[in-house]
Structure 1
Amino acid sequence: MDLESFTTLSIVLAMIHTLGLFTAVDAIMTARTSQGAIAWALLLIFVPYLTLPFYWIFGRSKFKGYVNTRRVRSRNIKDNTQTFRVVDVSVVADFSDRPDLLVLERLADFPYTHSNDIRLLVNGQATFDAIYDAIEEAKEYVMLQTYIFRDDGVGQRFVELLTRKAKEGITVYFLYDEIGSYQLSRTFLNDMRESGIQIHAFHTTRGKGNRFQLNFRNHRKIVVVDGQFAAVGGLNFGDEYMGLSKRFGAWRDTHLAIRGPAVQALQWSFLEDWYWASAETPHVNWDEAPVENAENTAIVVPMGPADTVETCGLFFVHAINSAEKRIWIASPYFVPDKQVICALQLAALRGCDVRIMLPERPDHLLVYLSSFHFIHETAIADRIAFYRYQPGFLHQKVLLVDDKFASVGTANLDNRSFRLNFEIMVAIFSEPFAKSVEEMLLADFEKCRKVDPNEILHRSFWFRLGVSGSRLMSPVQ
């Protein structure tokens, strides 16, 4: 190597190490945990060549710029929703004497509302039929937000419907996550735009500090029609959610169909995300429309990496801590943090019936392997029961506490939902609704096998090594 090349190489290496040093300072200042700060800092200082790209992609814990955009650009709808949030007390459920319930209201920044008609939608056929019928009846606008949208049979059915409604003069807003829906072609998206559909990607890499961040996702699935109907839950739009996947076959999922004041909170959540993606202010209906004789009191809890606190984790911890008799959770993934593990163990020690339902078949290998470690770590003798759902793939996100509280939405029991994804859950306080969730989950438990928490100890060395290695990646799973 000649002197000039050596000098150039030395300068490049010095610049990389300097950049690694400055980035290590950023990691120390912003990492969520002391262990994470130490790990990132050491790797950035001593191995910056490999670590810098990984930190730029996976290292951030907060989604930059979203809060400021929300504050500056959403004043118009904030003014409109003051009626919903503060003035119109006719639809607001007053829990001022229940500090345990006020926790969720303060987390959500939305009030509880009563007079909601909320219906469980079990699996793809019921969900897509309900959404299709609601869109068919749209008079003013349709808002559709999803993590995954496929250009397949299910996707084309809804594109044809949305295109027809747009031609009828209905305003159609379509928001998708560009990472979850990465398979959508430019031609497909352009065709939708040309048909009159207003379509935007969420743009998780938009904004200062997010340029290289591929780790944040908008995992919400929301449909709002005319501000009067909303659907939310675990189903994206694709053939696999109808049980047509060659890999999984049957697909077990749960959605909600909602009419009543809670629709306004779901509409608000959509509009915040739409602002971030488009900087536009849609004109929408803010009529709360309470449903006569509907007895469901509900609260909508949006959560995500732009929040000042870790809303999703706190939501689960609070729900588990509030359990007196039982806590049943159905989730496709089980990669909890220490707080959730401790909350589950304390619930079991209080004598609660603690059950966790997971899929038998994995869709993401690392998360599946990690679950073996966390099942073993969480279990206390036979006080916490784990179940593996046998037919196809279980994807529902459902929570049942005691006899009056149930929740359905998009959040999984894993670190990605706790800290990296934009999620949304609807909590319903209603004995009849909780009973319907109980009956649904009991039917699911009948299709499960009960898990031995120590089964990992009976697996091969290589399997246990894979589980241990996967656990190290749990912060980004």
Structure 2
Amino acid sequence: MDFFGPHVFGYLIALIHSLGTIAAIHAVLTVRTAQGSIAWALSLVFIPYLTLIPYLVFGRSTFDAYIKARRQANVEMRKAIADLNWRPWVEEALAARNSQAYAALRAMPKLGRMPCLANNQVQLLVNGEATFEAIFQAIEQARHAVLVQFFIVHDDQLGRRLHNLLRQKAGEGVEVYLLYDGIGSHALPHDYVDSLREGGVRVKAFATRSGWLNRFQVNFRNHRKVVVVDGLVGFVGGHNVGDEYLGSKPPLSPWRDTHVQVSGPVVACLQESFAEDWFWAARQLPPLILPDTYPDDGVLCQLLASGPADPFETCSLFFVEAIHAARERVWITSPYFIPDEAVSAALRLAVLRGVDVRLLLPSRPDHRIVYAASSLYAFEAVRAGVRVFRYGPGFLHQKVVLVDNEISAIGSANLDNRSFRLNFELMLLTVDPAFAGEVESMLLKDFELAREVTHEDSRETHRLQQLGMRIARLISPIL
């Protein structure tokens, strides 16, 4: 028998197409969005040679089992917290109802699992140097507990500085916890983690499965960035731990990102968010610390934690609600612009209402397929009347929303399907004219360094580039 005859190849092709058809049916039945189902199904039916293995890695759905397990873990975690007489924010939450600006976000009290709290102090950190100097200074002053969570931790100069500081504080008797994402930090050496554990630091990798199979389940990523010191001061934003976030790695340097330092009652929410993720990884609670007193005055803040186990698509709905609330302006910065239909419609409606709608996007790609799809959506937004700008000096990674003259949000969520439906994200919503003014000044400086995208840019794009953009858009729901 000729094992390499044409009939064998025919059987192999038939087998691949059969498996592709089965996988396409599976995608239709399990993928959460219609766009994602169509993108996977068509590609699996017509080009299974290229898409079958990626589907097994990226698209194979364990959503139901994972969500059930994650929700059960969250219930267990909240029961454990309830025994500690936690959630000390009832009185502070009442003050938030008097804000007319926050009242414009009518869905936000129910959309977020944590309330809007008064009497917080916030500080804008507009680059990597300011962010990590503030974080390291706070950790150096820690006396009781340090909670650290990042999507990416690199074993480079910045990563080793964090490593040494955490070991030092653990040696001083401070309880130190580090949680990193197993996919985002896939290149982190075992020696880095082992050395921390030997020094007394409690370290866990956020993973959706245990064992080697986890490397094949890469869809569920914990994209949150949180640091809390002694229950007094917290940090949230877009920076990860790596030299590139300090702008020292071409060709994407100088890196543009934003973080926020916060103190006050909302720090309790940051601790609860960290506790939820740590409990999933370790089935234990980290230390939760409440200060003796809170400031008497300050900024309204609400922490919006979102993820695939939410009963709603919290992240997408947050952007929709923020855009709908705008009366004068809504400015959004994001490294990726692959909106769903709801967000696209909200942007178009805002333009029709006469709102100043602006998007600030990077001019340099870090992921070329995502950038190509994002470019096509950007051209469509320009045709709808949205003002789109490309930031020039380096890679733009910040995630900022500015609505009218009081509302702003800074955190980890991008304008794409992954943040909307797959990643665990955090956004810190603030309601304060003075802080919104600081955010406005920061964004105005960014716009001065950006080039506005015009209708001519779309018409001057080469036909092959347009084809590439449209192909990228076809697979954008699964990026």
TM-score of the pair, normalised by structure 1? 0.90
| Count of aligned pairs between the two proteins | 471
**Aligned to 1:399, which of 398, 401, 422?**
401
Q: How does 1:23-102 map to 2 (within 5 A)?
A: 26-38=26-38, 40-41=40-41, 52-59=52-59, 60=61, 62=63, 63-64=66-67, 65-80=69-84, 82-84=86-88, 88-90=90-92, 92-95=94-97, 100-102=104-106
Matched residue, 1:340: 343
- CA–CA separation in structure 2 for the residues paired with 1:288 and 1:404: 29
Q: Match for residue 329 of structure 1?
A: 332
Q: Does 1:261 align with 2:265?
A: yes
Using the aligned pairs only, state the percent identity. Answer: 46
CA–CA distance in structure 1, aligned partners of residues 229 and 455 of structure 2: 45
Q: What whole-Å deviation, never above 9, does each CA across 1:282-304 have from its counterpart, x for those lacking one?
A: 232134842233x2001000011
Query: Is the aligned partner of 1:372 residue 2:375?
Result: yes
Shift of 1:12: 10
Please name the residue that 2:237 is paired with.
233
Establish whether residue 242 from structure 1 lines up as the match of residue 246 from structure 2. yes
In the alignment, is the contact (CA less than 8 A) between 1:113 and 1:262 conserved in 2? yes
Distance 1:426 1:15 in 2: 50
Cα deviations by residue, 1:71-93 (Å, 9 ceiling, x for unpaired): 134411144365425xx414543
Q: Of 120, 145, 150, which aligns to 2:149? A: 145
Measured in 1, the distance between the counterparts of 2:38 and 2:448 equals 46
Instruction: Please say if residues 207 and 214 of structure 2, whose CA atoms lie closer than 8 Å, have aligned partners that are also in contact.
Output: no
Worse overlay, 243-252 or 217-226:
243-252
Which has the larger displacement, 112-121 or 16-25? 16-25
For 1:304 and 1:95, how far apart are their aligned partners in 2?
A: 26
- Give, in whole Å, the separation in 1 of the partners of 2:200 and 2:349: 53
Residue 461 of structure 1 aligns with which residue?
463
Q: Distance in 1 between matches of 2:113 and 2:38?
A: 34
Which residue of 297, 300, 324 maps to 2:300?
Answer: 297
How far off its partner does 1:463 sit?
1.6
Equivalent of 2:474 in 458, 472, 475: 472
User: Out of 180, 184, 197, which is 2:184 matched to?
Assistant: 180
Structure 2: 5+ residue runs without aligned partners? none
Specify the SS of the correspondent of 1:80: coil
TM-score, structure 2 normalization: 0.90
- In structure 2, the residue matched to 1:390 is 392
Structure 2 distance, partners of 1:288, 1:84, is 11
1:331–1:395: 8 Å Cα contact kept in structure 2?
Answer: yes
| CA shift for structure 1 position 149 | 0.9
Contact 2:35/2:477 (8 A) holds in 1: no
DSSP-derived class of the 2:470 partner: helix
Whether the aligned pair in 2 keeps the contact of 1:202 and 1:218 (CA below 8 Å) is yes
Select which of 427, 430, 438 maps to 2:429: 427
Deviation at 1:473, TM superposition (A): 2.1
Asked whether the 8 Å contact 2:142–2:174 carries over to 1, the reply is: yes
Letter of the 2:262 partner, please give it.
I
Maintained 8 Å contact 1:95/1:102: no
Letter in 2 for 1:132: F
Give the SS at the match of 1:236.
coil
Q: Structure 2 vs 1, CA of residues 48 and 72 (structure 1 numbering), >3 Å: closer, same or farther? A: farther
